Amino acid sequence: KKDKLSINITRCGKILWSEILRKLTTIFRNKIPMIVIMSWKWGQSAWYNKTIISSETTRNAFYSIFINKNSNIRFATIKEKEIDKFHKWFCGLVDGDGTFYFNKTRDNYWTFYFKIGQSNYNIRLLYFVKKILKYGSININKNNNDAEFRIRDQKTLSEVILPIFDKYPLLTSKQFNYEIFREALLFTINKQYTKEEKENKLQFLKSQVKPLCYESKAIHILDNNNINLQIVNTVISKEWVVGFTEAEGSFYLVKKDKNRICHMFEITQKLDKKVLDAIAIILDMKVIQKKTYNTVLTTNQKSVHKVINYFFKQIKGIKSLEYRIWSRSFNKQYSYNELLQIQEKIRKIRSIRIPFHCISSLLIMFN
């Protein structure tokens, strides 16, 4: 018999997916539905089958995504390497969409928070993070359809969040923000300092500006003049790449000319070109420098095929649906007109926003 939490988790998945499916069925018609329904069912299977394994492990729903289905590991005895896999993925996600912030309120009180932002369309990713960490809350902005996973409690930040990033430093320049945040938080909770000392220290840290040439110490080994796959793999894990792609990656269909549509994968960043160089080596792609940003991308069929294999059943969020449609249309070798239709449908999928009333009850249920 399922416990209350198990029933709520299942209900959460059903509500979110039923709303997304309703919107998808209004987008896809004629020959396209089979692609979408198959892709949606694959995503639904990943959501339910990999999480609701048995009555005993339902409580561990989100942990189980990172655990072999044949494993007998239970929630209380998760192997360290499986937790490490999540932490690496989590760091990639945070490198893309995470924020470390502290500020002084009008009441002269310093507040700290860590957050991950997503469209509410991808709210399942935030619930995934919340259930694994077992802490935090999820907030919805009904005005712009954005969602946030957030932790503000100082004890939770110091005991749960900091140890993850101390063990696995961020690879982008966001590491600078983390280091300032970390120092400020630890200084604040240290009782040996006076209120005045804390105030002066936090004001000083708050005034620090990230140097233009800053890069995370974790990637210093990646010398641009002597970088290869063997070296890259010692710094960047597959889990990190998947997490970063959840935040920053895009699976596109692009029109090359009036008779040709190509599949393209792209990751764009304003800073951190060295990180993109490393990703390019892993996925056999090219880095292109624009005026205001850098991008790693490919439309090469061999590279696209490598990307498809690399991310197969790896993506945890709703982007897995985009990936599935994109990869299927590549493998099926559809005609120009069919690809043109799929291109438009993928664009519409990205515009899906779940009505606030469909998820407001879930916030009460799980926060």
Axis crossing angle, helix 123-133 with helix 80-97, rounded to the nearest 10: 140
Give residue 171's pLDDT.
98
Q: What are φ and ψ of residue 34, in 5° steps?
A: -60, -40
How many CB atoms lie under 10 A from the CB of residue 3?
Answer: 11
pLDDT tens digits, one per residue of 43-91: 443 433 343 333 333 334 434 444 444 444 444 445 778 889 999 999 9
Those residues of the chain that have pLDDT short of 50 are 1-10, 12-13, 15-17, 19, 27-28, 30-77, 356-357, 359-366
Give residue 10's pLDDT.
46
Give me the long-range contacts of 63-70 (CB less than 8 A, separation at least 24).
Answer: 63/131, 63/132, 65/128, 65/316
Question: Which residues are CB-contacts of 263 (< 8 A; sequence separation ≥ 6)?
Answer: 251, 252, 253, 254, 299, 301, 304, 326, 329, 330
Give residue 336's pLDDT.
82
Q: Which domains are delineated in the chain?
A: 4-78 (no CATH), 83-170+174-214 (3.10.28.10), 229-333 (3.10.28.10)
Question: Which residues are CB-contacts of 232 (< 8 A; sequence separation ≥ 6)?
Answer: 222, 278, 281, 282
Q: Is the dihedral of CA 117, 122, 126, 128 positive or negative?
A: negative
Q: What are φ and ψ of residue 228, in 5° steps?
A: -140, 175
Which residue, 71, 38, 78, is CA-closest to 53? 71
pLDDT tens digits, one per residue of 310-332: 999 999 998 998 899 999 999 88
